[in-house]
Structure 1
Amino acid sequence: MFTAFWVAYASFLLPSAVRAAAQYNMVKEYAGESFFDDWTFYNNADNLTHGNVNFLGNKDAFHDNLAFTNDAGNAVMKVDNTTQLKFGQNRNSVRLSTKDQFTVGSVWVADILHVPYGCSVWSAFWSSAPTWPVGGEIDTFEAVNQDPMGHMGLHTNPGCTHSSNAVQSSTLINSTDCSIDANSNQGCIITNPSPASYGEAFANAGGGVYVTEFAIDGISIWFFNRTTLPSSLQGNVSTIDTATLGIPVANWPADDCAVNEFFQPQEIVFDITLCGDYAGAASVFYQTCTGVCYNDYVLGDPSFYNTAYFEVSYLRVYGEPGELTVIQPSSGVRSVGLGRFATPALVLGSLLALVWAL
């Protein structure tokens, strides 16, 4: 009786112990002249997705104006659009990730006015744990070539899937298995149904705002254009309540993808590569483009890349009140222990151990 009572009591407590709060306070902002202060530039050829680019370090990127703050105070990250290359050369570009990592129980909001697009272009705004694929990947925005719309997705170790019970507005479900071992690491992908979620249409609409909620009970992504942006996201808001945002475009509830099992604290990333494993794959490239990805575009007229840039007004990160949200590089933290990331079984075992000790 005694044991059964405490097991039931512990189980009753668990939902409130692991349920994500809807209210978040701002803990980090990247904006204006200081936007680039806390980022790491990859500074290497694209040996990750095999694109035909050299990712520049911060000094070279700033010197070559591939990363800068424009007169409007917005951060710009772009592909070189002036250099005529010779065969065998790659085009310069940028890939940068936040020095800090952000824990489960955080939200990031990005106001983006322009995303890179065009044949051969593969651009993304996303996040991952430093030990990828352990720790997972969240793609808030990704698109290639002349796709009509952008998409969202997760990449994880085997065992995480997109739930049939997901509450989301998009019905364009490309794939449901998030495993990196399935379908050539396609991930569990949801297409953003908005015709202004990528390319020229996105730019002409003045861009939009992406919201990613990285919560213990699931991962959700919202997209708003300028006419649908809720009042709770307008202005320099220091707190947000995700309950005011309506139904997300994409949702991966924890019932089929346990967030505390498949995800660790995330670094946020902007990158632009060319061709590579995705945009350059024949089955993808020829859906919207003609010619040869490298020969006709990377080596072609540099003005092909006049539209291959991000312009970002701000990126803000919010966390649950009273919880650790920001893990700084000096802390050396790369894993989590018993706490808000603990599995229910582990929490239950610890509660029972406490009961028996009493």
Structure 2
Amino acid sequence: MFSPAWAAFASLLLPAAVLAQYNLVKEYAGQSFFDDWTFYNHFDNLTNGNVNFLGATDAFDDKLAFINEAGNAIMKVDNSSTLKFNQNRNSIRISTKDQFTVGSVWIADIRHVPYGCSVWGAFWSSAPTWPLGGEIDTFEAVNQDYYSHMGLHTNPGCTHSSDAVQSSKLINSTDCSVQANGNQGCIVSNPTPSSYGADFALTGGGVYVTEFAIDGISIWYFNRSSIPSVLQGNVSSINTQQLGIPVANWPADDCAINQFFQPQELVFDITLCGDYAGASSVFFETCTGVCYDDWVLGDPSHYDTAYFEVSYVRVYGQPGELTVLQGSSGRRSAEVQTVAALFLFALGSLYAFAQFL
């Protein structure tokens, strides 16, 4: 019999990555939530949505970003202005000033997510050198979707494994390449009925956990009534092995993490229409009319539900490891890693060529 005592002894022999023990290294919460985020301050030239992402000053002045009475961060779409043709609606896109390395976990307690026709909201992460450094979508959903989605976007060569250990059976696509299937990515739907929309709000939202580990990427979701005790309160350390089977999992066997991913910036954003929510094949699945004409230009109250309410985002790292690359120095570090990776690739190619000769 495999006794608990032997299990405890065996755990001492396992590497840190397998032990999955992480300590708190960064928290975004309360009145200081927005202090270490960068506001994009540009029209949506990234996904071709019909929004202007406001800079910090305008976002706070216009009350599109603020801390509510409950102490939670609100990020929302303008739901009061009547627009004229060719105008875009104001919205929010923020990214962390710091980047977080392989061997980290981020946890987001989210009370409300943006939803409604034309709405495309996401909580995700990306390397500054996208797509070279990869993208991890923890939460993404559009229009009146029944489910939210999780996924990866990478350079060619990364796929979702048929051996992935995960609870969701709703696998939308398996090729993570940005060059495949119109950059659909390798997407897994969250099968929890309350993972999006009005049901998410009515049930008090929930907690997302994303593990960015050398042996793979995993995402858990717990609705408000099922949050495990190990995630409740001011948790200073976590062990992801105590969280059970993740909703989605991308093992390194079919997607080498150190090859396809670099340190990640966390991102919240809400756009309207655009390449995904506005695509006719997607929009007409759950909505009617013309995305821009009937919704963006329509009654601004369409966007009364187009907001994030976030209690906190916490980042954890493995003991003794560098997890946080701070500000511009972190960006430079990522660039150095990119150059180093290209140099090593070139050396490997020269070596292979020499062997061939």
- Does the TM-score normalized on the shorter chain lie above 0.5? yes
Where does residue 333 of structure 1 map in the other structure? Answer: 333
Where does residue 305 of structure 1 map in the other structure? Answer: 303
Name the TM-score, length of structure 2 as normaliser: 0.89
**What's the Cα RMSD here?**
1.9
Native 8 Å contact 1:180 1:187 kept in 2: yes
Question: In the aligned structure 2, how far is the partner of 1:70 from the partner of 1:152?
Answer: 28
Where does residue 293 of structure 1 map in the other structure? Answer: 291
Where does residue 129 of structure 1 map in the other structure? Answer: 127
Question: In the aligned structure 2, how far is the partner of 1:119 from the partner of 1:108?
Answer: 29
- 1:248-259 to structure 2, matched below 5 A, reads 248-259=246-257
Measured after TM superposition, the shift of residue 335 of structure 1 is: 4.3
Native 8 Å contact 1:42 1:95 kept in 2: yes
Give 1:208's aligned amino acid: G
Question: In the aligned structure 1, how far is the partner of 2:14 from the partner of 2:244?
Answer: 22
Native 8 Å contact 1:264 1:335 kept in 2: no
The unaligned stretches of length 5 or more in structure 1 are: 1-14, 350-358
Give 2:56's aligned amino acid: N
Question: In the aligned structure 2, how far is the partner of 1:41 from the partner of 1:301?
Answer: 26
Where does residue 354 of structure 1 map in the other structure? Answer: none
Question: In the aligned structure 2, how far is the partner of 1:166 from the partner of 1:175?
Answer: 13
Q: Name the % identity.
A: 77
Where does residue 43 of structure 1 map in the other structure? Answer: 41
Give 1:167's aligned amino acid: V
1:207 equivalent to 2:205? Answer yes
Measured after TM superposition, the shift of residue 329 of structure 1 is: 1.6
Q: Could you list the per-position Cα deviations for residues 50-91 of structure 1 after superposition, in whole angstroms to 9, with x for gaps in the alignment?
A: 000000000000000000000000000000000000000000
Q: Could you list the per-position Cα deviations for residues 90-139 of structure 1 after superposition, in whole angstroms to 9, with x for gaps in the alignment?
A: 00000000000000000000000000000000000000000100100000
Give 2:96's aligned amino acid: T
Native 8 Å contact 2:166 2:248 kept in 1: yes
Native 8 Å contact 2:172 2:189 kept in 1: yes
Measured after TM superposition, the shift of residue 330 of structure 1 is: 3.9
Name the TM-score, length of structure 1 as normaliser: 0.89
Question: In the aligned structure 2, how far is the partner of 1:202 from the partner of 1:299?
Answer: 26
- 3-state SS of paired residue (1:232): helix
Give 1:191's aligned amino acid: S
The unaligned stretches of length 5 or more in structure 2 are: 1-12, 349-357
Match of 1:265 among 260, 263, 266: 263
- 3-state SS of paired residue (1:243): helix
Q: Could you list the per-position Cα deviations for residues 1-23 of structure 1 after superposition, in whole angstroms to 9, with x for gaps in the alignment?
A: xxxxxxxxxxxxxx977845411
- 1:75-224 to structure 2, matched below 5 A, reads 75-224=73-222
Where does residue 32 of structure 1 map in the other structure? Answer: 30
Question: In the aligned structure 1, how far is the partner of 2:144 from the partner of 2:303?
Answer: 13
Question: In the aligned structure 2, how far is the partner of 1:207 from the partner of 1:84?
Answer: 30
Question: In the aligned structure 1, how far is the partner of 2:281 from the partner of 2:80?
Answer: 29
Native 8 Å contact 1:98 1:268 kept in 2: yes
Where does residue 8 of structure 2 map in the other structure? Answer: none
Question: In the aligned structure 2, how far is the partner of 1:300 from the partner of 1:156?
Answer: 36
Measured after TM superposition, the shift of residue 163 of structure 1 is: 0.3
Question: In the aligned structure 1, how far is the partner of 2:155 from the partner of 2:244?
Answer: 30
Quickly say closer, same or farther: Cα 1:89–1:145, change in 2 above 3 A.
same
Question: In the aligned structure 2, how far is the partner of 1:79 from the partner of 1:276?
Answer: 15
Native 8 Å contact 2:44 2:53 kept in 1: yes
